[in-house]
Structure 1
Amino acid sequence: MTARTEPFTFHIGQDRLAGVLHLPATIPTAAVVTTGPLTSVKEQATGAYARALAERGFAALAFDHRTFGESEGEPRQFENPLGKADDIRAAVTALTADERTRELPVVAVGVCAGAGYMARAVADDPRIRAFAGIAGYYSDATAFPPDAAVLERGRAAEQRRRDTGVSETIPAVAEDAGDVAMPLREAYEYYGTPRGAVPNYTNGFAVQSLAYTGPFDAQAAAPRLSVPFLMVHSEHALAPALARKFFAAVPGTRAELWLESVGQIDFYDDSHLIDAATDAAAAHFRAGLDDPTHTLRPTAP
């Protein structure tokens, strides 16, 4: 199915957020709000999934969170999980008001860290009718509390910004790793090369983010999910044990699909993984909207 794109902008507070609405050729089944990996922008993983979902009959929004890409907000490159969950809820409000999508039910897709952020948003927002987490990183701050020195570094950086107005940043990725936000080699091979380094992307991470990412606990949202949940994961993606723990704690309708991947990052741009994940998500959303108590056939890990 052919899809087209149109600009989609909205506000949270005084900040203007920039997005792209991917639209199918036919009347959409639902509106999908997406969020993605650490430091990412709408032309990367969320754009790939939004485009694939539009090809499957959904109106899908990929947008730049506050402080990233074309969106406003300071300090730049500030990764704040709860702030991103607030952005998602603002996006839902915008989708329910926009003439292109206001008659549609809203469903949600989160990729990598975005699956944890989206879980929090879905748990807090009854307007979201179904949720799919793809290669999700479901952080567990209770079982794995943040390192005290890392937290202090983030808090010190935030205090310096308040005192001086200057925000300290480090690279998101680097070829030799080092002092970066994402030391995985496969992360550099995506964000640090033409494969993922799109013009709208900035290879940076505000150090004060460490005071917010470390304490964030995605697992706490699992028992509060009351809508149909689909988990798409891989044994080679990030933290499959945490994914299983999150899935087990979801009390309502749930389904899982385990795929074969090389690692985590190929979920961002491998067409075979994206197609399999979005086929499952599209079926999950349609079934959930028709019957919120539906059960998909799970694929055993």
Structure 2
Amino acid sequence: MNGFTRKLTAAIPSLLLCASLSGVPTMSYAETTNPNAPVSMVNEWDKTFPKSDKVEHRKVSFHNRYGITLVGDLYLPVERGDRKLAAIAVSGPFGAVKEQSSGLYAQTLAEQGFVTLAFDPSYTGESGGYPRNVASPDINTEDFSAAVDFLGLQKEVDRNRIGILGICGWGGMALNDAAMDTRVKAVATSVMYDMSRAMGHGVGNGKDRYTTADRRAVLQYLNEQRWKDAENGRYAPGGHDIYVDGKGNVTASERVLPETLPANPDPVLKEFFDYYRMPRGYHARSVNSTSAWNATMPLSFMNMPLLSYANEITIPTLIVTGEKAHSRYFAEDAYKAVGSKEKELVIVPGANHVDLYDNAAGKIPFAKFEQFFKTHLR
């Protein structure tokens, strides 16, 4: 696991010295001159979907407001002429990379005449940021605004016609950004999760899973893990879906998905496994495909509700979910909370959550997304 960087402010070494003298082990630091630099920028086509001959692809990088370098794939229609086009920033699902679902959505929408940007959020994929495999309701919301910054500076883009699209856990981040960034003219989500609610109250079968006592038990568990991380000088990995039994005992996996499916697996686990762990959607840089988040990652989400200001979203909003998606209740409740007079909830018949990741079952309503953005990014 990567730690913090050695390149710190002048005050930090004295703090480390005090910690060392007191017998407390210090965190290990990444041997890098810039912890916020890209991890890589692979130019070869390494996506989980075929390349379109109707779209020009460019590998790009840009910075967010915290100085972290984000890496993305910019898609432009080949036949675009000289006019400035509407643009859409796309990210998600939670724990995925731009070579998976977000890239497919971006390329498909670029085929319909938009400039699109699929990007890796901070601390994941090819984007910079240490320690690795961290998510943050604040920083990942900022990542969407940074993508808007980048798109608005491109000569092919009309900066007054920029929208955002979030998939799964980045749906909640997209709505959070739409409530804050007045430059965003339209927002859409696909099988969205509210990650603050998911981590703070547990993902249930159509409703929250944790009781108040469960929530306190999870906080106790995570803060005990902080002691262990501090003592060990590193950040332990762990799954972000945490279980509490009726006696307040907490368990969490050491990785997001297992190496192999157990006998008679939970249907939702099988959905995710069949995408992330199988050739259909596997990618080596995806947290969900290969590894785990930092075990303490849920803490900030549990204490910072993402959709606190959803009622202040006034721009056109499209919320798409599946009829059989376990996440459907997140979308339905977000739809009710959004304040826009121009909002629409689309429930795709027969679709589960992962069906809307890669269109393997022909379920993604790309025509609806196209119509929405063409109507509201005119």
Q: Same fold (TM over 0.5)?
A: yes
Distance 1:157-1:67 versus aligned 2 partners, 3 A rule:
farther
Partner residue, 1:189: 274
How much does 1:287 deviate? 1.4
Distance 1:280-1:60 versus aligned 2 partners, 3 A rule:
same
Partner residue, 1:173: 257
Partner residue, 2:377: 289
RMSD of aligned Cα (Å): 2.5
Distance 1:281-1:50 versus aligned 2 partners, 3 A rule:
same
SS of 2:286's equivalent?
coil
Q: Does 1:266 align with 2:355?
A: yes
SS of 1:21's equivalent?
strand
How much does 1:68 deviate? 0.6
Name the larger-Rg structure.
2
Q: Does 1:114 align with 2:170?
A: yes
* 1:35-114 correspondence runs (5 A): 35-101=91-157, 103=159, 105-114=161-170
TM-score of the two chains, using structure 2 as the length reference: 0.69
Q: Structure 1, unaligned stretches of length 5 or more?
A: 178-182, 291-301
Distance 1:138-1:86 versus aligned 2 partners, 3 A rule:
same
How much does 1:58 deviate? 0.8
Partner residue, 1:24: 77
* 1:240-259 correspondence runs (5 A): 240-252=328-340, 253-259=342-348
How much does 1:92 deviate? 1.1
Maintained 8 Å contact 1:109/1:132: yes
Maintained 8 Å contact 2:323/2:351: no
SS of 1:19's equivalent?
strand
Aligned positions, number: 284
Identity %: 26
Matches of 1:217 and 1:238 in 2, distance apart?
A: 20
Q: Does 1:228 align with 2:325?
A: no
Q: Which amino acid aligns with 2:310?
A: A
TM-score of the two chains, using structure 1 as the length reference: 0.85
Partner residue, 2:222: 154
| 1:222-257 deviations in Å (ceiling 9; x for gaps) | 212110001111221133233222212222211222
Distance 1:103-1:212 versus aligned 2 partners, 3 A rule:
closer
SS of 2:297's equivalent?
helix
Q: Does 1:126 align with 2:182?
A: yes
| 1:185-218 deviations in Å (ceiling 9; x for gaps) | 2112211222221133242211111212334534
Q: Which amino acid aligns with 2:185?
A: R
For structure 1, which segment, 216-225 or 10-19, has the greater mean C-alpha deviation from structure 2 after superposition? 216-225
Matches of 2:102 and 2:176 in 1, distance apart?
A: 18
Q: Structure 2, unaligned stretches of length 5 or more?
A: 1-52, 202-206, 239-254, 263-267
Matches of 2:231 and 2:118 in 1, distance apart?
A: 35
